[in-house]
Structure 1
Amino acid sequence: MTNSRALRAGVVGLGMIGGGVAVSLARSGRVPAVYDIRPDASDELDGVPAPLASPADVAKASGVVMVAVVNAAQARTVIAGDGGLLSGAHPGLTIVLQSTVALPVVHELAELCAEEAVGFLDCGVTPGDKAAEHGMVAIIGGEQSVVDHARPVLDDWAKKVVHCGPLGAGMATKIARNVVTYGTWRTVTEAAALAAAAGVAPERLAEVIDTADPEGRTLLQLLRMHGADGTLPERVARQIQPLMTKDLDAARELAAKLRVDTPLVDVTRAEADHTLGLAAEPAQPAIADPLQRGLAMMDAVYGPGFAASMPEQLDPYTNETVQHLFGDIWSRPNLSVRDRRLLVIGATAALGRADLMQIQVQGALTNEELTTDQLSEAVLHLAFYVGWGNATSAHRGVSAAIAAHNTAAQSAAEESR
């Protein structure tokens, strides 16, 4: 205990984070030596002494120095520049970089310190506004022996010290944490816009979230369900997947109806399987017989049972349609059935054929590839490319397919009662 209390602390940079760290250290009884380019930087910092003349002077007076400057250029200057910390280096000195910089800069500065036999740790911190209240988390990267040496000082200003791994791990963890923060802000922005378009006040959405999830458990729920190998168990992923896609589809449909732009929702839906760590469904073995392959693809395109409408004896044109168009072309990789459907819908609109459009749309609705709102939007978009007359025919085909689909769904619902 005597040795740990004898370890002297220093702080370079007395902004919000560095100043708060200095106050926390002073309150703990480990009054730090400090430096800032502003001579009066410590005037409003409780218990913190006046800045010394240079970072080198801080190094001479300290065993562990926290560097809390704004950017990489400033970090280089205060560590390795004229009058920098390394100018005042002595055996046992450890520098803790709190500034958020790129990983190559972390390794660059660590090498400079190693040349002078100075210990170095990268240390992301969060949240910055809690620095003066001993309320920050220290996110550390570096050798265990260096962490152990600096730990008494770190504990005096951080409510928790998390050693994330080797050099650079602290900064990488901080950067990843920032992705969660800012990504969540984007998510909240889209969610609030969607709720507002539906007449929901932002404070009501916040109230629901705060009440249902006061500790923010849902935000990290997926991460905490990962196994020891760092992946989500497939059994769990497959339980979540249908609920996740159903809810995201509902969000997309509402957004389309309310004309709210939700690009993050679209990306999240498209990447749902990847998010959950689910590989694409294993490819089915190719059917060797081209006729049977074509018939199977027709069912995939237009719905189960469609191929049964084909006559047993196919004329040359129909045979070529089944074997080549569906067996060879629709069955090729790189474009999904939905992708190819959209291409065909565009080409069909250009022909002005309502009957052919109806067939394609019925397949899209059967496969749940497109919603009714998306189909209506597609017709409007195509009108400016294929002409209003052709778009009118396309609209007629789409409307007929939607009506038939709704009628079939209603009949099925009534039969199930």
Structure 2
Amino acid sequence: MAAEVSASKVAVIGTGRMGAGMAVRLRESGADVVVWNRTREKAAATGCAVAQTAREAVAQADVALVSLADDAAVHAAYDGPDGVVAGLREGTVVVETSTVDPETVRRVEPLVAARGATLLDGPVSGSIALVEKGQLTFMVGGPDSAVDQVRPVLDRLARQVFHVGPAGSGAVVKLAVNTVVLALNQALAEALVLAERAGVPPETTYEVLVNSAVGSAFVSYKRAAFERPDETPVAFSLDLVAKDLDLVRQLAERVGAPMPQAGANLGVATAAIAAALGDRDMSAVAAYLRARSG
């Protein structure tokens, strides 16, 4: 497996928390990695070769992983004379790992195909700690042959790679997964504040939750963020929570799916951002609820 990964040149477009984690993991596993980011310092911090433009980064790549914050950033990175599309060569597979609207994937896909390359939408589920261990979950949409082509690279990053359907399907499943994750976050925050207001310390409540029927991987790994928010790095900001829940809302409206809980959670996230908590971790929903309850 290591030899297969080493034989592939991998471009990583976007070195935010997840993109940087993937670039470092691939470099340490033996891949030849080149990165690009709008802020060069973030790209250089990965220890990988740094390209001047997205076009330059993908020009010699067999596989390109794109990890950006939102749909606008994705469109900006693909477009223009220095964008991803301009640099693609025939046979390259682009894996769009960003959490975006499925329609964004479907708009970008023909631009990539026109260059003789293939686009997969392959968003991920998992924390930075999991990418460092190579234990992410990929939800991939696109043709079978391209999934097989990139699997040696994805297997270095992932515990599981699910091929969920044609292009756009990965983005749909990621929004479904995040609907559950963000609902769990909201429920955790509410439960802890409820018990705290009723006189039970949140640490005591959390210990019971972790070891109860609702215990899960998410409940366990968010414990430090809820119990020691000032000491725990931000893993998923409330700004991104609201962005993802708005994508869920838009998709639900298009397909006619009722999403009352997701709508309520979006309202809370939006209110927390208005209370200047947007750059805080998603666990700061608890701080917002405490403030509301006096």
Instruction: Please indicate the TM-score interval, normalised by the length of the shorter structure.
Output: 0.5 to 0.7
Please give the TM-score of this superposition, normalised by the length of structure 1: 0.49
Residues of 1 paired with 2:156 and 2:122: CA distance? Answer: 15
State yes or no: 1:14 paired with 2:11: no
The one-letter code sitting in structure 2 at the alignment partner of 1:29 is G
Residues of 2 paired with 1:37 and 1:187: CA distance? Answer: 36
2:15 is paired with a residue whose SS is coil
The one-letter code sitting in structure 1 at the alignment partner of 2:17 is M
The one-letter code sitting in structure 1 at the alignment partner of 2:66 is V
Q: Do the aligned partners of residues 55 and 142 (structure 1) sit closer, same or farther apart at CA in structure 2, a change above 3 Å counting? A: same
1:63 offset after TM fit, Å?
A: 0.5
Assess if the C-alpha contact under 8 Å between 1:22 and 1:31 holds in 2. no
1:201 offset after TM fit, Å?
A: 2.0
1:97 offset after TM fit, Å?
A: 0.8
Please list every run of 5 or more consecutive structure 1 residues that lacks an aligned counterpart in the other structure: 220-262, 268-417
Instruction: Say which is worse superposed, 66-75 or 132-141, in terms of deviation.
Output: 132-141
Residues of 2 paired with 1:205 and 1:94: CA distance? Answer: 47
1:127 offset after TM fit, Å?
A: 2.0
The one-letter code sitting in structure 2 at the alignment partner of 1:26 is R
1:94 offset after TM fit, Å?
A: 0.8
Assess if the C-alpha contact under 8 Å between 2:88 and 2:112 holds in 1. no
Assess if the C-alpha contact under 8 Å between 2:8 and 2:32 holds in 1. no
Taking only the aligned residue pairs, the percentage that are identical comes to: 29
State yes or no: 1:44 paired with 2:45: yes
Matched residue, 2:63: 64
The one-letter code sitting in structure 2 at the alignment partner of 1:178 is N
1:145 offset after TM fit, Å?
A: 1.1
State yes or no: 1:80 paired with 2:79: yes
Matched residue, 1:191: 191
1:188 offset after TM fit, Å?
A: 2.2
Residues of 1 paired with 2:102 and 2:143: CA distance? Answer: 16
Rg larger in structure: 1
Q: Do the aligned partners of residues 179 and 3 (structure 1) sit closer, same or farther apart at CA in structure 2, a change above 3 Å counting? A: closer
- Counting only pairs closer than 5 Å after superposition, residues 147-162 of structure 1 correspond to structure 2 as 147-162=147-162
1:117 offset after TM fit, Å?
A: 2.1
Cα-to-partner distance string for 1:143-196 (whole Å, 9 max, x where unaligned) = 111111111111122232222222112111111111111111222233334333
Assess if the C-alpha contact under 8 Å between 1:20 and 1:133 holds in 2. no
Cα-to-partner distance string for 1:175-225 (whole Å, 9 max, x where unaligned) = 1111111111222233334333432222222111222348529x9xxxxxx
Assess if the C-alpha contact under 8 Å between 1:195 and 1:201 holds in 2. yes
1:102 offset after TM fit, Å?
A: 0.7
Instruction: Say which is worse superposed, 149-158 or 36-45, in terms of deviation.
Output: 36-45
Residues of 1 paired with 2:214 and 2:29: CA distance? Answer: 31
1:164 is paired with a residue whose SS is strand
Residues of 1 paired with 2:154 and 2:6: CA distance? Answer: 12
- Counting only pairs closer than 5 Å after superposition, residues 5-404 of structure 1 correspond to structure 2 as 5-45=6-46, 47-49=47-49, 51-130=50-129, 131-213=131-213, 216=216
Assess if the C-alpha contact under 8 Å between 1:96 and 1:122 holds in 2. yes
Matched residue pairs, number? Answer: 220
The one-letter code sitting in structure 1 at the alignment partner of 2:162 is V
Residues of 1 paired with 2:44 and 2:54: CA distance? Answer: 18
Cα-to-partner distance string for 1:73-98 (whole Å, 9 max, x where unaligned) = 22122223221122122121111111
Please list every run of 5 or more consecutive structure 2 residues that lacks an aligned counterpart in the other structure: 220-259, 265-294
1:40 is paired with a residue whose SS is helix
The one-letter code sitting in structure 2 at the alignment partner of 1:108 is R
Q: Do the aligned partners of residues 214 and 48 (structure 1) sit closer, same or farther apart at CA in structure 2, a change above 3 Å counting? A: farther
1:3 offset after TM fit, Å?
A: 5.6
Assess if the C-alpha contact under 8 Å between 2:6 and 2:32 holds in 1. no
Residues of 1 paired with 2:198 and 2:161: CA distance? Answer: 44
Assess if the C-alpha contact under 8 Å between 2:93 and 2:150 holds in 1. yes
The one-letter code sitting in structure 2 at the alignment partner of 1:157 is L
Q: Do the aligned partners of residues 194 and 88 (structure 1) sit closer, same or farther apart at CA in structure 2, a change above 3 Å counting? A: closer
1:42 is paired with a residue whose SS is helix
Larger strand fraction of residues: 2
Assess if the C-alpha contact under 8 Å between 2:195 and 2:205 holds in 1. yes
1:4 offset after TM fit, Å?
A: 5.5
Assess if the C-alpha contact under 8 Å between 2:209 and 2:215 holds in 1. no
